Structure 1
Amino acid sequence: MNPFKLETKMAFRVIGFKTTLLEGTHVHSPQFSGQKTTFFKELIAGGQMASLRPYADSGYGYAAVAEEDGQIYYYAGVQSDQPLPEHAVEVHFPAGEYLILSGSGGLSRLAFDKLEDQAFGSLLTAEFEYKYSGAPIAEVLLNGDPMDAEVEVWVPVRKRNAG
């Protein structure tokens, strides 16, 4: 099992580009993996990701999975406090508790999938003190190398007895 911790985070936002994920039933559906990879590769090839660098608060790459109005969306971009560029969209992450899972080595998409499988398959069970809150999930590429990735997945959680 990969390392994990609970951490309180301040609210933040990711700016970038958005696509609709299809054929899944919840934010963590295995059908989404290939769609996420295709979308990200298209953004790299088209130069859209490079266009966000001047707006980034850090060197990390961010992605988000969010459910909005019954639809699942995937965002790819950067964390930023700067004004929203005309060509981008934003997703907001609330302040609160996050389950942080870390991994390294291999392709970033496989590492993210493994960590999300661990979060939703092994940790966020009825026995765990916390449950998924329903807010966006962050995928964070820490080292900028999607071929030999150092990654984290941030799953927003709340205590089970908190409602």
Structure 2
Amino acid sequence: MTTYQIETKEQFTVVGLELTIKSQFNDFAGISREKADFWQRIEADGALAELKSGAKDDCLYAVNEAVNNKMMYYAAVLPKNDTLRADRRIDFPSGPYLVVTGSATSQDELAGQLTGAVFGEILPQLTSHRYVGGPNAIQIQAVGDQFKGVALVPVVAN
């Protein structure tokens, strides 16, 4: 099983550019394609560069959230201040989080690796805590020619 920790995190807020996922929740190939197209689009049109210019640090957040019965996805950052323009503010509550780390040669590979570990491996077998919804994120940082990341999934004790 993939190594993980349950850690208490302080509340934090990210701001992001949003995508409404149109694929069915179990169409993993469709969801992955939509997300990859989204990242390509926001890189090409300069929206990602603009978002990153107002970031507190060099980390990106790939955020999943259900809003009004829709699957939403965000490219997000921790903002330097409240003036950073974005589509949405996403609040992560303080409390326990399932934390899984990983590294890969691409951002997409990293996101797939961590998402698969969290939702396909760890959560189905975890008996001490459970995920009850709310936003979850993968914090991504480019380090040389590698991408390092941390999956952050809010959980509650059983």
Q: Which amino acid aligns with 1:42?
A: R
Q: Does 1:11 align with 2:11?
A: yes
Question: Aligned pair in 2 of structure 1 residues 55, 127: CA closer, same or farther (>3 Å)?
Answer: closer
Q: Which amino acid aligns with 2:10?
A: M
Q: Which of 135, 147, 150 is equivalent to 1:149? A: 147
The corresponding residue for 1:39 is 38
Matches of 2:34 and 2:150, distance apart in 1: 20
Matches of 2:119 and 2:96, distance apart in 1: 16
Matches of 2:155 and 2:40, distance apart in 1: 30
Q: Which amino acid aligns with 1:46?
A: D
CA deviations 1:23-72 (Å, max 9, x no partner) are: 2237xx62311111110111111111111233212111112000011100
Unaligned runs of 5+ in 2: none
Count of residue correspondences: 157
Unaligned runs of 5+ in 1: none
Q: Specify the SS of the correspondent of 1:149.
A: strand
Question: Aligned pair in 2 of structure 1 residues 84, 68: CA closer, same or farther (>3 Å)?
Answer: farther
Structure 1 ranges of 4+ moved more than 4 A? none
User: Within 5 A, what are the aligned runs for 1:1-163?
Assistant: 1-25=1-25, 30=28, 31-80=30-79, 82-125=81-124, 127-143=126-142, 148-160=146-158
Matches of 1:87 and 1:97, distance apart in 2: 27
Q: Is the 8 A contact 1:5 1:99 kept in 2?
A: yes
Matches of 1:154 and 1:51, distance apart in 2: 24
Question: Aligned pair in 2 of structure 1 residues 56, 125: CA closer, same or farther (>3 Å)?
Answer: same
RMSD over aligned CA atoms reads 2.0
1:150 Cα deviation after fit: 1.1
Identity of aligned residues (%): 25
